Amino acid sequence: GDSVTQTEGLVTVTEGLPVMLNCTYQTAYSDVAFFWYVQYLNEAPKLLLRSSTDNKRTEHQGFHATLHKSSSSFHLQKSSVQLSDSALYYCALPRGNTGKLIFGLGTTLQVQP
Amino acid sequence: AQTIHQWPVAEIKAVGSPLSLGCTIKGKSSPNLYWYWQATGGTLQQLFYSITVGQVESVVQLNLSASRPKDDQFILSTEKLLLSHSGFYLCAWRGTMNERLFFGHGTKLSVL
């Protein structure tokens, strides 16, 4: 069945350094969009990035991700993290032509000074 | 513009007491509606979704139920709260399959 995998539960990075948060997926559907959501402490998740185009880089708020259908991946990257980037990051994809939306388990990004 | 409103913002309840959380979406007809739950320090878990009035699909069994009495309203409830029900409840909507989710501000539930 369809699934989203985020392998890291916690990623700790020093401010100013780059980071990559992994997301891989499994879906039987070819024409779907993929999402990254960010959730700050005590807040609701907010959309960070969205993509449905293979091999096209999508950017927002300094983060970028490229959907690679060949490797079933949609990793989130940033070249220089800031303290304010500390949050929980979710990768998500719609589950076929139903109302369901699948979230990964989430990766907590902890940026330290 | 579409708006999503959740109520209450926070709730402190006793074990065994009933619960009702509400969510309304304005400015969007026939939205897909969702309830998510997040334990403190935990991940998002989809509880229910509804694509039309009167129809609700359960994704995770947590001794909760959901109903969609109107096109713009989604209710989460239980007759008897458990300690394990504590957490953050999020209502969300989206239009079509590949559209983003719009989240409400959430309800923080503490069961004591």
Domain residue ranges in chain B = 3-111
Q: Which CATH number fits domain A3-18+27-112: 2.40.50.100, 2.60.40.10, 1.20.1290.10, 3.40.190.10?
A: 2.60.40.10
Residue B44 confidence (pLDDT)? 86
Which residues of chain B are under the pLDDT cut of 50? none
Residue A30 confidence (pLDDT)? 75
Residue A42 confidence (pLDDT)? 82
CATH number for the domain running over B3-111: 2.60.40.10
Residue B42's DSSP bridge partners are none
Q: Do B101 and A46 touch (CB under 8 A)?
A: no
Amino acid at A53: T
Q: Find out whether B49 and A99 touch, Cβ atoms under 8 Å.
A: yes
Domain boundaries, chain A: 3-18+27-112
Cα–Cα separations (whole angstroms), residue B3 to B11, B35, B111: 22, 16, 28
Residue B62 buriedness (CB in 10 A; 0-12 / 13-18 / 19+): middle
Chain A, 63 to 92: residues with Cβ < 8 Å from chain B are 88, 90, 92
Q: How many CB atoms lie within 10 A of CB B51?
A: 15
Cα–Cα distance, A101 to A92 (Å, whole number): 7
* Token pair listed for B91: 């209502």
Please report, in tens digits, the pLDDT of each residue of chain A (113 residues total): 788 999 999 999 999 999 999 999 988 877 778 899 999 988 889 999 999 899 999 999 999 999 998 999 999 999 999 999 999 999 998 775 566 778 899 999 999 99
Residue A36 confidence (pLDDT)? 95
Q: How many CB atoms lie within 10 A of CB B12?
A: 10
Question: What counts of helices (H) and strands (E) characterise chain B?
Answer: 0, 11
Cα–Cα distance, B14 to B35 (Å, whole number): 22
Task: Give the mutation candidate from B101, B105, B110 for the A interface (greatest A CB count, under 10 A).
Answer: B101
Task: Give the mutation candidate from A93, A100, A108, A110 for the B interface (greatest B CB count, under 10 A).
Answer: A100
* Token pair listed for B7: 């109520």
Helices (H), B1-112: none
Q: Do B32 and A99 touch (CB under 8 A)?
A: yes
DSSP strands (E only) in A1-113? 3-5, 10-14, 19-21, 24-26, 34-39, 46-51, 57-60, 63-66, 76-78, 87-94, 101-103, 107-112
pLDDT, mean over chain B: 92
CA distance A88 to chain B (A): 9
Cα–Cα distance, B10 to B4 (Å, whole number): 16
